Structure 1
Amino acid sequence: MKKINEISERNERTLGKGKGIFIGEKLNRLMKIKRISQRRLAKDLNLSHTAIYKYLHNRAGASFDVVKKLAEYFNVPISYFIEEEATHESKECPSLEEIERLLDQLPPEKREKVLKAIKEQLEALVGT
């Protein structure tokens, strides 16, 4: 509980008291993965669909209580919404050559499945 309080206090200092926690990108990602609509999420959490829309588009920050509900609902730690993600440069990201090398080691049917999954993920990120 001490860790949660420290995170909450840090966010209040960063965002300003009463501004809330802006979670749009992360909430959107979870909703896509779980294939949950805004209306469904609003109903399940007893929130207005307008509130969910505002959170998704960063037009309003979520209270810590809402973030806690979302974390429980999606079965993720509260820190998922609160902590900043590592920058791209700090992640150990494989090169395209490394990915190709690993794909070449797969049997054709598994390779097709992996490539299809990668394509779907990229399309979801790009929004096509």
Structure 2
Amino acid sequence: MRAFARWALAGAMVFAGVSHLFWGRKEFQAQVPDITGKVMDKDAVVVASGVVEVMLGASLVVLPKSRSTLGIILAAFFVAVFPGNIEQWAKKRDGFGLDTDRKRLVRLLFQPVLVAWAYWSTRPTPRG
């Protein structure tokens, strides 16, 4: 079960990362906090995070001996991008069909699930 969850997460990360780089760039900019945009161009943040997502997703598959460390890094990544999701909700920014307060709030509630998914799916399987 963990292996399936890990592979699904890896695929989702690669897909999300590629979408950051191509068709979803404008949509993802809605999630970049304004303060970050003052330090760095919002498009550059989206591109950089897309590259990181592709690397993390691919690493989950090609670096099996590092999966526990990668799980912690991925969980930390999900925590690090959470302020952008909060700002999208607080400032009522539409993006990816998140066009109501309720949809944006549900998206916020899903973030802890991603953190748990990253952590749980990369833990070593307990041996009996």
Q: Which has the higher contact order (CA 8 A, sep 6+)?
A: 2
Relative to the length of structure 2, the TM-score reads 0.27
- Structure-1-length-normalised TM-score: 0.27
